[in-house]
Amino acid sequence: MKRMKKVLLLCIIATAAYTAGAQMPASSRQNQFSKLSSKLPTPLSELEKAFLAPEGTKLQLKFSNLTFSGIVLSSVKKYDNLYNVVIRSSSLDNTLFSISKRIEEDSSVSYVGRIINEKYADGYELKKENDGTYSLNKIKTEELIQDF
């Protein structure tokens, strides 16, 4: 009976230690964009530049107080109505800007994209606002990407 109490006590302690460890922060990565606004207005003309540049081209996109300069790594037309571009910025520690353009059946155009870097805890996500304009909204990459 005494042995059973000791085993039970050991199991309780092990469970408590495991649970306490699981509540620690997942990462201690720093924020890359801490000095920038949480929302950056994004002109459509800047987004369109990404789809006009061929692979290997140097490109500079200006979003409010963020200038994203980099090389077009990939520019792919997946279907007649879907285009994807990936740009890597060496000046921002190899941060990637992945953007997609979709042409709807009614000929309207929609964009989605993210600026992320696995070394940092924050990034930006491209969102369409209620008034039809686009903006880059700050995100926590730890909530999106679990395996860093």
Comparing 117 with 22, the larger pLDDT belongs to 117
118 falls within a domain: yes
Residue keyed to tokens 């009614």 = 106
51 falls within a domain: yes
2 falls within a domain: no
Q: Answer yes or no: is pLDDT of 122 > 70.
A: yes
Q: Answer yes or no: is pLDDT of 26 > 70.
A: no
Q: Answer yes or no: is pLDDT of 10 > 90.
A: no
11 falls within a domain: no
Q: Answer yes or no: is pLDDT of 101 > 80.
A: yes
Q: What is the mean pLDDT of residues 31-45?
A: 84
- The pairing of strands 95-103 and 122-128 is unpaired
pLDDT at 24 (0 to 100) = 44
Q: Answer yes or no: is pLDDT of 28 > 80.
A: no
Q: Answer yes or no: is pLDDT of 8 > 70.
A: no
Q: Which domain holds residue 113?
A: 39-144
SS3 readout for 86-97: EEEEHHHCCEEE
DSSP state of 1: -
69 falls within a domain: yes
Q: In this predicted model, what pLDDT tens digit does every residue of 43-98 receive, in sequence order?
A: 999 999 999 999 999 999 998 888 899 999 988 888 888 999 999 998 888 999 99
120 falls within a domain: yes
Dihedral over Cα of 41, 44, 47, 49: its sign: negative
Q: How many CB atoms lie within 10 A of CB 21?
A: 8
24 falls within a domain: no
Q: Answer yes or no: is pLDDT of 148 > 50.
A: no
Question: pTM of this prediction?
Answer: 0.74
Distance CA 116, CA 109 (A): 23
Distance CA 49, CA 139 (A): 24
Comparing 140 with 13, the larger pLDDT belongs to 140
Total domains present in the chain: 1
Q: What is the mean pLDDT of residues 8-36?
A: 62
State the burial class of residue 20 (Cβ atoms within 10 Å of its Cβ: 0-12, 13-18, 19+). exposed
pLDDT at 139 (0 to 100) = 87
pLDDT at 19 (0 to 100) = 57
